[in-house]
Amino acid sequence: MEHHRYVIAVHGGAGAIASDPADASPYHRALKAVLAAGTELLEHGAAALDAVEAAVVLLEDCPLFNAGRGAVYTADARHELDAAVMRGQDLAAGAVACVQGVRNPVALARSVMQSSGHVLMVGAGARCFAQQMGLAIESDAWFHTDERLAELRRAQGRQVPSAAPAPLLAQGTQGTQGTVGAVALDVSGHLAAAVSTGGLTNKRPGRAGDSAVIGAGIYANDLSCAVVATGTGEHFIRCAAAHDIHARMLYRGQAMQEAAADVVFGELQRMGGVGGVIAVDAHGAVSMPFNSAGMYRGLQRQGEAAWTAIFPEDYSGM
């Protein structure tokens, strides 16, 4: 069996991000810890899917990011969580949307993929399935952060009386760090992707974004690439962003970097969409384009030190 050089890339959301280095340092530390966990698994021959799930679990448990413990609030001051996983080897996928109380929605998404016979489960039914699978259920207090509640109050305070709906804070804007995600190539040459999010601040109860939609916020295929997205989810859904990158590579013959840039700076931006993607191809090349002010992101290759960034960088050499 051919041995491949593994690589893992992660992101913690895209959007308007404070430029103070003191404020940024916790994000760099968190991303490097996440990369270390994923790399440890890949170093010992674990499958790409195991590595990306482990990475996203850590991101969900970190209150800095809009997923799991740091999730934003809905209009009725609750947390509704979306997540998905996909395996490039056989296109197996699992997703959940609008789940409440599940500590690690990405683990539930994997259980949906492996044990439910379905691809997408939502709401109370998905939570019940999580309990049947023995996954951790937490109280509302676990998911609370003062910053997220303040974001909700600010959003609702801008609502004009009798006007509807209240303004949404898009993923990755005005303090909301959007989605979290990970993509990886393992030593066997297989790709995988995982994504999780709390969605939009002040979203209507029952709203699901691109993270739960296979082909929009996530896609993985060993023939092309593994992709996860972050940003204004409705736009990513409408242009099937993640699958479009795969399709451009497979049918148009574009390199992944070109395909990803065309989607993020072309199709997505023409629709008014804001955000970015991280992607790794079957040869281990990585692309991280975004059209927002910044995107929390990190990368680690076999035998190399971890790299993390927030603001625009030169993507060459990835």
CA 23: distance to chain centroid?
22
Active-site entry in 39, 176, 179, 197? 179
Strands ordered across the beta sheet of 225-231:
218-220, 225-231, 275-281, 286-287
Tokens of 149: 């509640």
By DSSP bridging, strand 93-99 and strand 120-122 are parallel
Contact 139, 111 (CB under 8 A): no
**Binding-site residues for substrate:** 207-210, 230-233
Q: Report which of 56, 71, 51, 72 is spatially closest to residue 11, judged by C-alpha positions.
A: 56
**Binding-site residues:** 207-210, 230-233
Tokens of 103: 């500590």
Query: How far apart (Å, rounded) are the C-alpha atoms in residues 27 and 33?
Result: 10
Active site residue 173: no
Which active-site residues does the annotation give?
A: 179
